[in-house]
Amino acid sequence: MTSLQNSTSINQTLFLNSFPQKHHATFSFCRRRFSLLVRSQQASPPPPSSTCSSSQDRPGRRQVLAAGIIASWVSLVNQNSVSFAAENKKGFMSVLDKKDGYSFLYPFGWQEVVIDGQDKVFKDVIEPLENVSVNLIPTNKQDIREFGPPKEVAETLIKKVLAPPNQKTKLINATEHDVDGKAYYTFEFVAQAPNYTRHALSTISIGNGKFYTLTTGANERRWGKMQDKLQSIVDSFKIFNV
């Protein structure tokens, strides 16, 4: 992918500096996860002889109480497993970057590659235009809306960062949505090179003093087949406090 070979960090720094200063409230969220491990051991049978009937009753009552507690724990574990399964969508692998504070999904079978200027890149080895990249650079902004409305920011980012100057680009749509009080801009665009056209989706947000950009796409001829998967990637992108 030609745009991935450019110095994206430098381009994004220029992009960030091209907007006027605005002020908004800081939004943050913290996603908490927990796991529960339940171990149960079979209670030892009572001794063959006992001198008191009450001593026989007490172990039995303990077993019933323990069974009830374990059943409650198992029920809780099953409920949590459902939520975890929902996050790990079928046919996708998950990325959790605890250092930089973000997570997303990518299709099973894509391989990670290292590209200068990108924090994470995964791509299809057969269809190299099918990939996802994450880039982040420092910023003193607190909210993506400080840069302007979605359409304005998307058009500037596409022209200055996401596509080379010699490619003809077109913004298809740009929207804003909130997740746990944090604003994200998501937009769709095409970039036409001499020998191919790439159809792409991007989502951007601000957190942890960084400007985050996730971009994914495919060759225009495969857009119909890949659209749902690419949309799932974009929708899965989340930032958390670190």
Tokens coding 215: 């971009």
Within 8 A by CB and 6+ apart from 209, the residues are 138, 139, 140
Supply φ then ψ for residue 20, to 5 degrees. Answer: -70, 160
Spatial CA neighbour of 210 closest among 124, 136, 110, 127:
136
Local confidence pLDDT in tens for the 242 residues of the chain: 444 434 455 456 556 655 544 433 333 333 333 333 334 444 444 444 444 344 444 555 555 444 454 444 434 334 333 333 335 689 999 999 999 999 999 999 999 999 999 999 999 999 999 999 999 999 999 999 999 999 999 999 999 999 999 999 999 999 999 999 999 999 999 999 999 999 999 999 999 999 999 999 999 999 999 999 999 999 999 999 99
Q: What is the pLDDT of residues 48-60, one digit of tens each?
A: 444 434 444 455 5
Is there a contact between 29 and 181 (Cβ–Cβ < 8 Å)? yes
Q: Which tens digit of pLDDT belongs to each residue from 63-89?
A: 544 445 444 443 433 433 333 333 568
The one-letter amino acid at 180: D
Amino acid at residue number 232:
S
Q: In the chain, what are the domains? A: 3-31+90-239 (3.40.1000.10)
Angle at 61 between CA 60 and CA 65, to 5 degrees: 120
d(CA 219, CA 232): 17
Closest CA to 181 of 238, 97, 236: 238
How many other CB atoms sit within 10 Å of the CB of residue 108?
Answer: 10
Task: Confirm whether pTM is higher than 0.75.
Answer: no
